[in-house]
Chain A
Amino acid sequence: MTSLAFSLPLVLKRQDAALMPRFGGKRAPAAMAGDADIVARLRDGDESAFAELIDRYGPTMLRVAQMYVRDRATAEEVVQETWLAVLKGIDRFEGRSSLKTWLFRILTNRAKTRGERDGRILPFSALAGAGDEVDEPSVDPDRFLGPDSPHPGAWAAPPRAWPQDKVLERETLGVIQMAIEELPDAQREVIRLRDVEGWSPMEVADALEITDGNQRVLLHRARSKVRAALEMYLDPDIAGGRA
């Protein structure tokens, strides 16, 4: 199973990435070129401002759109329409929300409308009812002592300390990437926005039109599954060796 990781098209950030303010807000959300600046340049017809925006948000927009609509071609159309709507509305943008939030609201609304029209079941609709997946434990219950033990709920098969270097190795990152790709749509998108792109909880909730609590539940499930996949890789004797 782990051998698959070698064939993944893994793209690593440059070593110095953490030192540079990066568009998209990673590590430095406030260090973005600044909405006011980019909006002014768009209004002036500065093509490089538009190029910055589509490079920064384009791939994410396409992924988010794909959750709502039936295929990639439709998602591409929705993204295209969103950009045109952004240009059309740019004179009315008043900065009450961030440009990013505004943009993703337009996108999500359009994608939802399109998905509904095509009879799709929307990805977050299951959350509204709540409780349907609450029995999805973060850690295999067999890893804990049972109710009859003197310490119910204490670790029976505890986790090990992981060496940081090992976790951050290229090969390990491949395992993480693969685990993320295997997540259900909503969980995958939330962990990408929060942990890969560094969005705040509120930005995620706003863009996907879900509650703060919902985004956290999805994120927690996603992270827990990624952790479990990583443990299977790093400590197979604990994670998978019992059965």
Chain B
Amino acid sequence: MKMLGSDAILRALEHEGVDVAFGIPGGAILPTYDAMARGTTVRHVLARHEQGAGHMAEGYARASGRVGVAIATSGPGATNLVTAIADAWMDSTPLVCITGQVRSNLIGTDAFQEIDATGITMPIVKHSWLVQDAAELVPALKAAFHVARTGRQGPVLVDVAKDVQEAELDFEWPDEVDLPGWRPPRRVHSRQVREAALAILEAERPIVYAGGGVLNGDACAELKELVDSARLPAVVTLMGKGCLPDSHPLNYGPPGMHGSKYANWALNKADLVIAVGTRFDDRVTGKLSAFAPGAKVIHFDIDAAEVGKIRTAEIPVVGPLKLALAELVSELHAARDGAAPKHEPWLRQVEEWRQSFPYRYTKVDGVLKPQTAIEALRDLAATIDGDVVWTTGVGQHQMWAMQYLVCDQPRSFITSGGLGTMGYGVPAAVGAKAARPDATVVCVDGDGCFQMTCQELATAALERLPIVTVVINNGWLGMVRQWQELFYAERFAQTHLTKQVPDYAQLAEAYGCAGFTVENEDELEGALAAAFDAGRSAVVDVRCDPEEKCFPMVPSGAASVDVIEAPDEEPART
């Protein structure tokens, strides 16, 4: 069928089942927005900044499991997307970014708003296409979705010259993609799975170490089956939160820099680490040479390059996790033959650690602790009918959210892990709400983070995508302040933001959202409840203790077994 390139872009999105795309128009992408005016089933959510559009597409992808789509113009539109693309790259979030490019006869001339978008993003995309020939447009879009969602998921970029959008082409949706070099694994080696099963049966102190790959690989049910049937204790990383219910008795929560002492001890004192869809990030391992020193490692991952990258895996299993874990469960069942697992004493030990070293903080009369606010949120969420989806920014509030929120469903905790992108929370929440309109979407944010992307409150308000944002407002770049206090002799250089400027409740009102201010603990419950019931987007400014630090903590470069449990164990200040 004959049509313009711009119309073909929308038909391609429709063929891929895209129901929502996020973006901002501009010169070089104008023909495609003009095609939107001609009609499409794709809902376009108009962001206020391309970074916001990118994070919305990420939030959409993480909340739904589908590929997120962000659209921007050339030049600054494309560069503003870069942070979101990098974020999606680090956290393996499937994203198709479509950018306009200057006309093909102007490419390379430093034309107005010309930037080498494919060049700039090359290290942070799985692949990219610069389309200068109308005949290549539709196959490129088909391939883009295929690459984004297969294998280890991640972002791709399709940069489309303006004249290609304006050119007439013959639209035919291809049945297949022609990518001879893209062959992600589809099976697992049965022999490796059998070896893994035998190692698990022999282990005295086994532990599952599960990450975001379990969510991406749609392997949550299989993981739970493994944990239940083999009675394996599990730790779950920040990115994996929700892949195994937080309230599951064998889920010991997050290990790592701000994970619990019991999770770190369980992981470090194990004799067998069963890593599933996780990449031994330095924030989890701490000092690598001291990480789980007595353990043999089984590493399940879809990406062969992750296996053995940081820690040698005695038993590597490369392939789709859903398949691998299902095979492992049946292998274990066959191999065990009814015998009781050997590791009952270990299970008792790990549980004893959990009882001895719970997350804790000290309440002080008249002082509103940030953890209290998060606990109140957790308790309020437990009373909500239907799904609650959390998003966060990056910093102390994020770590407290990780520690205290209870996520029993997959895709209910959406955060920026690898890149640590401040400002992720609000736009990600907008995207999550667009993906799952029936869910209650709550962004737990910091005051520093909130100010980086709060313009997207306008998007939330006008696009009728109501979200609740709870600003854990301590008036500081809190995590940086914590490091300054602990490691830079309390020289608080350039971290004070103040709690009063801006007035977040007034700012919320200015954006057409409901605004609430909480100064003390008594007001907390009421304000949160009112925000949840506002019937529109709401912001709760929770002004809390700026001196509260996030513990437990593994100081950078320390062994994670040497986790500092609480402030009273702080190292001597220098």
Are A and B subunits of one complex?
A: no
| Residues in chain B within 8 A of chain A (CB atoms) | none
Interface set of A (CB-CB < 8 Å, partner B): none
